[in-house]
Amino acid sequence: MKKTITGTIIWGIVLVFLVIPLSIIDPGLNFLAPCLIAIGVFLLTVLLVYLYQNWYFAVYFYDLTDDFIVIRKGPITPREITIPYERVQDVYVDQDIFDRILGLYDVHLSSATISSGMEAHIDGVEKQAADGLRAHLLEIVHQRISRGRAQDANISASQ
């Protein structure tokens, strides 16, 4: 829903900026014709954005396995992001303006890569689920780091 609203607003603004110059360039042109065309294109765009977002939602998937966080998204160009728990440096929850309106949150996973904050995130979860997911992920990450440090200490002590 959030992405449908955003896409609709963006395409609406683009169409307004296309119709206004048409009416200025040729003042004799019937202003109603470009407006009707723009409205038709706008409605078609809203429908296409809505259908695409439903498709996106249908293929969106995330899973917390024993060793990895797996996020799959993208209907046309599918991407799968797999992050080992040991690589996660931070888990944070945020909202943009549309998330706030709809009462949704995004859970972001930060790692050492540049694009991790943008790519590795779980979209559109409710507050309770976002907080629970964040707490669960941070607990797993903490356990993995503690286990790794204990193993390193055992190796150092045996040498």
State how far the Cα of 56 lies from the Cα of 43, in Å rounded to an integer: 20
Handedness of CA 115, 119, 125, 129 (dihedral sign): negative
What is the DSSP secondary structure assignment for residue 27, as one 8-state letter? T
CATH topology of domain 61-158: PH-domain like (2.30.29)
What is the structure's pLDDT at 31? 63
- On whether the CB atoms of residues 20 and 27 are closer than 8 A, the answer is no
The one-letter code for the residue type at 96 is D
Q: List the chain pLDDT tens, one digit each, 159 residues.
A: 677 777 777 777 777 777 666 666 666 656 667 677 777 877 888 888 888 888 988 998 999 998 889 999 888 888 888 888 888 888 999 998 888 888 899 999 888 776 665 678 888 889 999 999 999 999 998 888 887 676 766 666 666
- On whether the CB atoms of residues 121 and 109 are closer than 8 A, the answer is yes
State the maximum Cα–Cα separation within the chain, in Å, rounded to a whole number: 90
State how far the Cα of 87 lies from the Cα of 68, in Å rounded to an integer: 10
What is the structure's pLDDT at 132? 93
The angle that helices 2-25 and 32-59 make with each other, rounded to 10 degrees, is: 160
